């Protein structure tokens, strides 16, 4: 029997013992193998999902492409109204969906709710945006001519998302794509398929209530093989993929091979620089939440602390003693700080990272280890660990999706710290803790952080949806969520109109017949 109100949450979200519904669930295109979803919280089987075959995928695409023809001619503010209703339904289901996220993925209940809140926020953002899909007007160099640009709906958007944000990343993409007039086909992580079914069920109600074609929101379930069919498909002009750099490189090459567009949000190796002018209390909160929140499985998780030598021991002692307060256990119990890793494979990666850092000459400051016994039966609960290391260590250069924090010492000025911060292949999130304006501004300047996200006096994780989210270098360069990220979901057109009776050519070219 599933506790913590999970049974009721599953019922509310329409999750059954065996779940079908690759399309919105009104009809059902899943005829493949059964995929089982186990909770990392207690190791219990939550539900089964029918996966999608290549033939199912074809039916999904038929439904999606037909829906696009209808959806693209619906005025954008009316599409915004659909997204507004979706946001309303998310508000009603926040508790149930947040719980399912926590139970299927393993993040804390608060973070589960927080993720649903991000979905609600992006819906609100998208509703406003649905009246602001602005293009520019320009002055033509020719008399009696007018120039402007406009944005048209793009088509079918393929979304590949990761287990760590099993619902929010989908919503960041869909809320924008829908107001832009696109339809979406989603391949959620095979580690969190029930979250996918739940989201799909919520949107299916909105679609049905508005008498719209169900292909506006489609779901395909399964492993990389079904994702591969989608990334190869010419009918999908945009693939938005979130996950590892390894996966992103494959997706990028396949999509580029057919000259499609990819929006990539891949690995991070995020650091906080702690300068002699840092507020130590704020640093500790930011660093500890950044390193152990979501059990170190955010792509924005803090992996490296770059501390000035003059305050190194002070900061180290404060962080190590904060780690002693951490309670590890069932994430649905709100008194716990740290929940489980997603699965045993992740536990293995965590072990390997700790072994490697020692082998390379690092020093363990807070011991790791797997917890066993009552409450830890899933075998996925690990102790957040801290190691003193060097930035050049191979393992420090690598993103390990686990609560392992590396302490790095710098001497000299903030310029030296920035060199260490930038001295990795990834470029997602970064932060500096300082009350020194010169240091802060230098960090944000062109010679400062090379990441897509650079913060002052807050940590690396927990970005708001209003900004564009993503990063540089091996993080893939894509931007999702706020600001003008919507533009990638539309095709852009430049228009020149001649309202005279002659045909002057641009650049003054004469061509008389």
Stretch touching ligand UN1 by CB under 6 A, among 48-56, 213-221, 380-388, 461-469: 461-469
Binding residue (CB under 6 A) for ligand UN1 from 30, 52, 269, 300: 300
- 298 binds ligand UN1 per the rule CB under 6 A: yes
Output DSSP code: residue 462: -
Stretch touching ligand UN1 by CB under 6 A, among 97-105, 294-302, 378-386, 398-406: 294-302
Segment (H or E) for 240: strand 238-242
What is the sign of the dihedral through the CA atoms of 335, 104, 200 and 245? positive
Binding residue (CB under 6 A) for ligand UN1 from 126, 129, 291, 299: 299
CB of 282 or CB of 311, closer to ligand UN1: 282
| Structure-token pair, residue 182 | 């696109």
SS3 (DSSP) at 309: coil
CB of 165 or CB of 178, closer to ligand UN1: 165
Binding residue (CB under 6 A) for ligand UN1 from 14, 213, 276, 462: 462
Stretch touching ligand UN1 by CB under 6 A, among 101-109, 298-306, 312-320, 402-410: 298-306
Instruction: Say which residues have a Cβ less than 8 Å from residue 444's Cβ, sequence separation at least 6.
Output: 454, 456
| Number of residues near ligand UN1 (by CB under 6 A) | 9
CB of 164 or CB of 201, closer to ligand UN1: 164
- 430 binds ligand UN1 per the rule CB under 6 A: no
What is the sign of the dihedral through the CA atoms of 26, 34, 164 and 240? negative
Rounded least distance, CB 268 to ligand UN1, Å: 8
Instruction: Say which residues have a Cβ less than 8 Å from residue 269's Cβ, sequence separation at least 6.
Output: 303, 304, 397, 398, 399, 424, 425, 426, 428
Distance CA 164, CA 112 (A): 10
Bridge-based pairing of strands 217-219 and 385-388 is unpaired
The catalytically annotated residue of 265, 399, 474, 480 is 265
CB of 93 or CB of 461, closer to ligand UN1: 461
CB of 289 or CB of 312, closer to ligand UN1: 289
Rounded least distance, CB 297 to ligand UN1, Å: 8
CB of 53 or CB of 242, closer to ligand UN1: 242
Rounded least distance, CB 304 to ligand UN1, Å: 16
CB of 65 or CB of 117, closer to ligand UN1: 117
Rounded least distance, CB 399 to ligand UN1, Å: 11
Rounded least distance, CB 165 to ligand UN1, Å: 5
- 164 binds ligand UN1 per the rule CB under 6 A: yes
The catalytically annotated residue of 180, 299, 380, 451 is 299
| Structure-token pair, residue 513 | 């017949």
Rounded least distance, CB 413 to ligand UN1, Å: 29
Strand order in the sheet with 217-219: 217-219, 183-187, 156-160, 238-242, 261-265
Rounded least distance, CB 242 to ligand UN1, Å: 6
Angle at the Cα of 510 (from 508 to 513), degrees rounded to 5? Answer: 155
Query: 512: burial class by Cβ within 10 Å (0-12, 13-18, 19+)?
Result: exposed
Binding residue (CB under 6 A) for ligand UN1 from 240, 269, 461, 475: 461
Q: Where are the alpha helices (DSSP H) in 130-180?
A: 168-179
SS3 (DSSP) at 385: strand
CB of 75 or CB of 466, closer to ligand UN1: 466
CB of 165 or CB of 323, closer to ligand UN1: 165
Angle at the Cα of 352 (from 349 to 356), degrees rounded to 5? Answer: 140
Stretch touching ligand UN1 by CB under 6 A, among 22-30, 269-277, 324-332, 455-463: 455-463
Instruction: Say which residues have a Cβ less than 8 Å from residue 289's Cβ, sequence separation at least 6.
Output: 459, 461, 462
Q: Which residues inside 224-243 make contact with ligand UN1, applying CB under 6 A?
A: 242
DSSP of 210-261: TT--GGGEEE--SSHHHHHHHHT-TT--EEEEES-HHHHHHHHHHHHHTT-E
Stretch touching ligand UN1 by CB under 6 A, among 29-37, 54-62, 297-305, 501-509: 297-305
- 165 binds ligand UN1 per the rule CB under 6 A: yes
Rounded least distance, CB 33 to ligand UN1, Å: 28
| Structure-token pair, residue 366 | 């807070």
Rounded least distance, CB 115 to ligand UN1, Å: 8
Distance CA 459, CA 97 (A): 27
The yes-or-no answer on residue 299 being catalytic is yes
Residue 79: other Cβ atoms inside 10 A: 24
SS3 (DSSP) at 262: strand
**Nearest residue to ligand UN1 on Cβ basis:** 463
The yes-or-no answer on residue 265 being catalytic is yes
Q: Which residues inside 241-260 make contact with ligand UN1, applying CB under 6 A?
A: 242
Across the chain, how many H-helices and E-strands are there?
Answer: 14, 22
Distance CA 359, CA 297 (A): 24
* Overall residue count recorded for the chain in this entry: 513
Which spans of this chain sit near ligand UN1 (rule: CB under 6 A)? 164-165, 242, 298-300, 461-463
Residues belonging to the active site: 265, 299
């Amino acid at each position: 029997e599933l506790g913590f109100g999970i049974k009721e949450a599953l019922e509310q979200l329409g999750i059954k013992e065996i779940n079908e519904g690759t399309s919105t669930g009104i009809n059902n295109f899943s005829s493949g193998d059964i995929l089982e979803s186990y909770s990392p919280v207690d190791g219990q089987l939550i539900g089964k999902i029918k996966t999608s075959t290549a033939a199912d995928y074809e039916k999904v695409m038929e439904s999606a492409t037909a829906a696009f023809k209808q959806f693209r001619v619906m005025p954008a503010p009316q599409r915004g109204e659909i997204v507004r209703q979706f946001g309303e339904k998310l508000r009603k289901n926040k508790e149930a969906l947040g719980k399912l996220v926590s139970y299927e993925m393993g993040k804390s209940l608060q973070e589960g709710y927080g993720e649903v809140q991000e979905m609600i926020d992006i819906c609100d953002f998208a509703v406003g945006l649905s009246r602001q899909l602005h293009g520019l007007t320009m002055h033509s160099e020719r008399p009696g001519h007018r120039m402007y640009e406009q944005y048209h709906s793009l088509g079918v958007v393929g979304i590949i998302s990761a287990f760590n944000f099993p619902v929010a990343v989908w919503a960041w993409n869909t809320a924008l794509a829908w107001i832009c007039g696109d339809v979406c086909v989603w391949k959620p992580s095979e580690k969190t398929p029930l979250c996918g079914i739940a989201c799909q069920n919520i949107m299916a109600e909105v679609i049905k209530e508005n008498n719209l074609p169900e292909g506006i929101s489609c779901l395909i379930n399964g492993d990389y093989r079904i994702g591969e069919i989608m990334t190869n498909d010419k009918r999908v002009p945009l693939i938005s993929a979130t996950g590892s750099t390894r996966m992103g490189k494959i997706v990028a090459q396949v999509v580029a091979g057919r000259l499609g567009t990819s929006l990539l949000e891949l690995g991070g190796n995020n650091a906080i620089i702690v300068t002699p002018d840092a507020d130590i209390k704020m640093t500790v909160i930011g660093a500890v939440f950044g390193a152990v929140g979501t059990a170190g499985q955010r792509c924005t998780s803090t992996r490296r602390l770059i501390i000035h030598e003059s305050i190194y021991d002070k900061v180290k002692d404060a962080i190590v003693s904060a780690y002693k307060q951490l309670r590890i256990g069932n994430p649905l119990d709100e008194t716990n700080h740290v929940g489980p890793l997603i699965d045993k494979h992740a536990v293995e990666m965590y072990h390997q990272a700790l072994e490697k850092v020692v082998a390379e000459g690092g020093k363990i400051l807070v011991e790791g280890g797997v917890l066993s016994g009552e409450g830890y039966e899933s075998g996925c609960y690990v102790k957040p660990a801290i190691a003193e290391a060097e930035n050049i260590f191979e393992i420090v250069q690598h993103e390990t999706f686990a609560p392992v924090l590396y302490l790095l010492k710098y001497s000299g000025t903030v310029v030296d710290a920035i060199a260490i911060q930038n001295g990795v292949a990834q470029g997602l999130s970064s932060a500096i803790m300082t009350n020194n304006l010169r240091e802060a501004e230098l960090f944000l300047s062109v010679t400062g952080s090379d990441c897509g996200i650079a913060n002052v006096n807050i940590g690396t994780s927990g970005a708001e949806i209003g900004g564009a989210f993503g990063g540089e270098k091996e993080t893939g360069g894509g931007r999702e969520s706020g600001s003008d990220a919507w533009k990638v979901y539309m095709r852009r057109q430049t228009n020149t109109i001649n309202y005279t009776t002659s045909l002057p050519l641009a650049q003054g070219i004469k061509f008389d017949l």
